[in-house]
Amino acid sequence: MSNVSYYTAEGLKKLKEELDQLKSIERPKASQAIAEARDKGDLSENAEYDAAKEAQGMLEMRIAKLEEVHSNARLIDESHLDLTKVLVLSNVKIKNQSNGMEMKYTLVAESEADLKTGKISVTSPIGKGLLGKSVGEIAEITVP
């Protein structure tokens, strides 16, 4: 089942760069590590070979996952966003009721989320609680 994810131009570029890095640099490195381990002799008791094969398997799983995400990625056209509602790319201000602290975040796709840069996922409890709210509307969200 395909899950469409919406990305900013920056997020889509980072996704493509990571995929290209894994395919063009990491994949050949993994193959080289397997070849070097194979050259060391008996494969039945070659822990280095087993580790290299396992690392290659993990790499291939990561590449397959990123290829799936990339094929289902859609670029967000910011000019068509409804600015009266909270959507992907909306900037929101959140006030923690327990300590009164205010924080500003931008809602982004799950793979672009990064709290350090003020980006939270639309699939997070806070993101889900804010999506669809009108500008200025107060939302009460209980978080774990």
Contact present, 59 and 26 (Cβ < 8 Å): yes
Quote the tokens at residue 89.
């790319």
Instruction: List the beta bridge partners of residue 7.
Output: 75
Q: Is 121 exposed, middle or buried (0-12, 13-18, 19+ CB in 10 A)?
A: buried
Question: Is this structure's pTM higher than 0.85?
Answer: no
Identity of the residue numbered 109 = A
10-residue mean pLDDT profile of the chain (144 residues): values are 76 92 96 89 79 94 93 82 83 85 89 89 90 84 80
Catalogue all structural domains in the chain, each as residue range(s) with its CATH number. Answer: 5-75 (1.10.287.180), 78-130 (3.10.50.30)
